[in-house]
Amino acid sequence: MTTKKLNLKRIREILWIALLRAREERVTQVAGSLTFTSVLSLVPMLTIALALFTAFPLFRDARDAFQQQWLADVLPPQISAQVLGYINLFAAKAKGLTAVGLIFLIVTAISMMLTLDKVLNEIWHVKRRRPLGQRVLVYWAAITLGPVLLGASLSATSYLRSAMGLDIPGLSRFLLEALPIVVMGLAFAALYVVVPNRLVLWPHALIGGAFAAITFELMKTGFAWYISRFPTYTAVYGAFAALPIFFLWIYLSWLVTLFGAALTAALPSLRYEKAKKLKHPGERFINALLILRELYQARQSLPQPGLRREQLIARLRISADSCDQLLDHLDELGLVARLDASGRTERWALICDPAETRLHYLYEKMAFERHYFATQLNQYFPALEGWLQQLVSEPALQVDLASLFESPEIAPN
């Protein structure tokens, strides 16, 4: 019973952390922005995908599965047929565009992917994103290959259903019915792993992807029930009722996608961070000093110098967000640097000369930056400026980092 209570407590705690992160990144507003971008980008993306299906007759079955079964799995049944009709109509019109128009379609399609890239990197608190060319190539591959792979998987599912006939055993029927949710969960997980310029562990991504896929399916069922029981949109909009319903559905879908990302990003923090952890004065300064000490001790480690981000988090028992923010700040100060160019493994090393770097430099940058308040102090409290000058001139703050880290009074881990 105690273990069950602990598990429920952990689940509530991680959901609370994810909710705080989602609120911090304003996902409700971001979902609205992505909805508008999606409406503009949906037709170009599907036009490109359907054009690829048309160019290769081998994928004709995959195209039919992509158009029919995918929309049936993603959209509420009340609007899937109408939306498919509109999309095919718009895509057919788009085929007659000139070269300039086609370039505009491609740019519009990629723009949504770049917007999503920006949002997910903000959720993971990533400051350094991949080069633009690399991002465009990745998302172009996703736009072109994604529908083909999805259509192939759906076509295989349809083939299995028809091959097994109507007399399907209970377990097999359940697995076939659950397959679209599994595929969707894997797609969400791949999104959470590939897009952020951060090392995202697959177990965390699979948890977030499973949560998003299950929530998406429950939302689709509830949304379909609401539309069938309360046909307000149909009474107001008539034949155009599918459009506002479709826009609302896109908005809710983005909410689920972004909250799944927030949940995935929050999972590493659960081990060393409580949802309502209090921040103590000087905590950043002490943690920064501890990071520098760990990197100082690992400066000649083999086979690679430095430490991975995950090693720092585990050794210092600080949250992933705190570690990321401190490393970025120390990088800006020229004290540490990331060794790899890709940013996926997050390996860091000490680059300053510890024998020439004084403790007071770190104190002023991380605890109290006296020079930033110099004008205000001189105007309102000149005496305090003098006392602060004496404080940072204390012999204890003039010690260099090498002497500090080599001191026997600082016990190693």
Q: What is the pLDDT of residues 319-358, one digit of tens each?
A: 878 888 899 899 999 999 988 655 556 689 999 999 999 8
Least confident of 33-42, 98-107, 233-242: 233-242
Give the model's confidence band at 206: pLDDT under 50 very low, under 70 low, under 90 confident, else very high.
very high
Ordered by where they begin, the domains of the chain are: 2-271 (no CATH), 290-406 (1.10.10.10)
Convert the pLDDT of each residue in 60-71 to its tens digit.
665 666 666 566
Q: Which residue has the tokens 């602990």?
A: 6
Say if CB 105 and CB 179 are below 8 A apart: no
- pTM for this predicted structure: 0.72
Q: Could you tell me how many residues make up the chain? A: 413
What confidence score (pLDDT) does residue 1 get?
A: 44
Q: If pLDDT is split at 50, 70 and 90, which confidence band does 294 have?
A: very high
pLDDT of residue 324: 85
How far apart are the C-alpha atoms of 299 and 345, rounded to whole Å? 17
DSSP states of 47-92 as a string? HHHHHHHHH-GGGHHHHHHIIIIIHHHHS-HHHHHHHHHHHHHHHH
Share of the chain above pLDDT 90, in %: 13
Distance from C-alpha of 152 to C-alpha of 64, rounded to nearest angstrom: 10
Mean pLDDT value across residues 221-240: 73
Average pLDDT over residues 264-293: 76
Contact 176, 160 (CB under 8 A): yes
Torsion sign across C-alpha atoms 268, 272, 277, 279: negative
Question: Is the model's pLDDT at 52 over the cut of 80?
Answer: no
Given the structure tokens 């049944």, which residue do they identify? 77
Residue 411 has pLDDT above 70, yes or no: no
| Best CA proximity match to 367, nearest among 277, 288, 278 | 288
Instruction: State the chain's mean pLDDT as an integer.
Output: 75
The pLDDT score that the predictor gives to residue 275 is: 42
Q: Are 266 and 211 in contact (CB under 8 A)?
A: no
